[in-house]
Chains A and B, each alone.
Chain A
Amino acid sequence: MILLDNICKTYTSGGTETHALRGVSLSISNGDYIAVMGPSGCGKSTLLNILGCMDSSTSGTYVFDDVAVHELSYKQLHIFRKKHISFVFQNFALLNRYTVFENVELPLIAQGIHSTERKKKVTNTLEELGIAELRDKLPIHISGGQQQRTAIARALVSDHELILADEPTGALDSNTSKEIMDVFDIINKHGKTIMVVTHDLTVAKHAKRLLRMEDGLFLI
Chain B
Amino acid sequence: MKNRDRFLLMTDFMTGRIKLLVLSVLLTICTFLLFDMVLTLMKEQSFEYDTYIDGYKSGIDDVYKIDFQYMNMTSPPRILYEQTSYMDFLEDIRSIDGVNFVCGYDYSRVRFDELSRSEEYEYIMSTRRVDELELGIMSNDSLALIVDDDCMNYLMLKCSDDYLADFLSASDGYWPVLAGSSFSDILNIGDILHYGDKSCRIVGFLDPDATWPNNNGLGTYFYKTNSLNYQFVFRSSDMRSVRTTPPLNALYMKLDKSADSIQVERQVRNIGNEYNIILSMVSVDSILADSASDKMAAEKMYMKLLIFMFVLCILTSTASAVISLMVQRKKIGIWYASGILPSDVQTMIFAEQFIKIVLSAVLAYGIGMWYARECSMTYQLMHSTITLRWFLLLSLISYIVTVAVPCAYISRQHIIDLLQVKD
Contact = CB atoms under 8 A, between A and B. Distances in A.
Interface of A: 49, 54-55, 75, 78-79, 81-82, 87, 89, 93-97, 106-107, 109-112, 114-115, 154, 158
Closest 8 CB pairs of A and B: A110-B339, A82-B339, A106-B338, A109-B5, A107-B338, A110-B340, A54-B415, A107-B339
Contacts of B337: 54, 87, 89, 93
A78 B342 contact: yes
Interface in B301-355: 331, 333-344
A97 B339 contact: no
Nearest to B334: A93
A89 B338 CA distance: 12
A55 B416 CA distance: 8
23 contacts: A49-B416, A54-B337, A54-B414, A54-B416, A75-B342, A75-B343, A78-B336, A79-B341, A81-B339, A89-B419, A95-B334, A97-B12, A106-B339, A107-B339, A109-B9, A109-B340, A110-B1, A110-B340, A110-B344, A111-B1, A112-B5, A114-B2, A154-B338
A19 B338 CA distance: 29
A52 to B, nearest CB: 8
A112 B1 contact: yes
Chain B interface size, as a band, is: 20 to 34
A94 B423 CA distance: 11
A106 B335 contact: yes
Q: Is the interface of B mostly helix, strand, loop or mixed?
A: helix
Interface of B: 1-2, 4-5, 8-9, 12, 16, 331, 333-344, 414-416, 419, 423
A94 B416 CA distance: 15
Contacts of B341: 75, 78-79, 82, 110
Contacts of B331: 95
A9 B155 CA distance: 98
Contacts of B340: 106, 109-110
A96 B423 contact: yes
B419 A109 contact: no
